[in-house]
Amino acid sequence: MNGNLRYQYPPVFTVDAAGGLHQQHHHHHPQMAAARTDPTLVPCWTFPPARAQTKRRSCGGLTSAAGTLLVMVLVVIFAALGLGAYQIRKLEMEVIKLKKEMNKPTESMAPQKLVGNQVEANEKANHIEAAHLMGKIQVTDTLKWEAKHGRAFTKGVQYRDGSLLVNKTGLYFVYSRVEFLSKNCKQRDSLVHEVFVTSNGEKQKLMGDHREGFCQAGSTEVWTSGSNLGSIQELKQGDLVFVSVSHPERLSHEYYDNYFGIFSLS
């Protein structure tokens, strides 16, 4: 097939370096096209197409990346607020629960504790051994006392002929007070006030007070002199405690001026 065939080629547009558009060229045959080709012309398809706008703006003038970042920040903020509210509510519930647990034992145990303390106090009071004796003037070295009338009493301790009989071994506070008074005295007179205990048949002195120079010779005025004794003593069951004075005739006749007593500490 050597016929002179003429093929129709698509039109070609060319542009120069300045961007000007040249005339349209038609090619009818490859040989003819080669003879008429202008070497200074470059086909237009070799140039890149005009770039499309790369920055596409979204609503409000923000880019899509900025919008995404804003949404993430808001999500984090709301998540933090929700977590904080949950923690606060959890703490409130724990405080309420703790208050209920603290009040529950207090309410249930308070009456029992009160009753228990009262019973314990009553039992302790029932086991206390004590005695308080008031003055009963008799002219003997070992003083006799009133054990039943007025403010005098004995509890857990027996009064026996001027002495107190200890029923239980332990610590006791022993005390005594006497008051002397008279119009006549000698300058060298002395007053002796002593407390003794008889344990296993042996007499022992627990406390003593010795006084001199309590009056002026030849004076017609009444003089007085008081003596107080008191100390903690360890006494045994069966001990007898008593008081002795040197001049019982000079003791005051007032009922509350002379007294003697003990009470247990254990």
DSSP state string for 190-218: EEEEEEEEEETTEEEEEEEEEEE--S-TT
For range 4-16, the mean pLDDT: 54
Lowest pLDDT segment from 67-81, 189-203, 221-235: 67-81
- Closest by alpha carbon to 47, among 72, 74, 14? 14
Q: Provide the token pair at 26.
A: 């038609």
pTM more than 0.85: no
Tell me: the pLDDT tens digits for 87-98? 888 888 888 888
> Does pLDDT of 23 surpass 60?
no
Do 155 and 129 meet the contact criterion of CB atoms below 8 Å apart?
yes
For residues 264 and 266, give the distance between their C-alpha atoms in angstroms, rounded to a whole number: 6
H-state helical runs in the chain: 30-35, 64-127
Average pLDDT, the chain: 77
Can you tell me whether residue 15 is helix, strand or coil?
strand
For range 48-52, the mean pLDDT: 53
Tell me: the pLDDT tens digits for 123-172? 555 678 999 999 876 777 788 999 988 899 999 999 999 999 999 999 99
> Does pLDDT of 47 surpass 90?
no
For range 109-131, the mean pLDDT: 65
> Does pLDDT of 99 surpass 70?
yes
Higher-confidence residue of 17 and 223: namely 223
For residues 147 and 158, give the distance between their C-alpha atoms in angstroms, rounded to a whole number: 9
pLDDT number for residue 111: 58
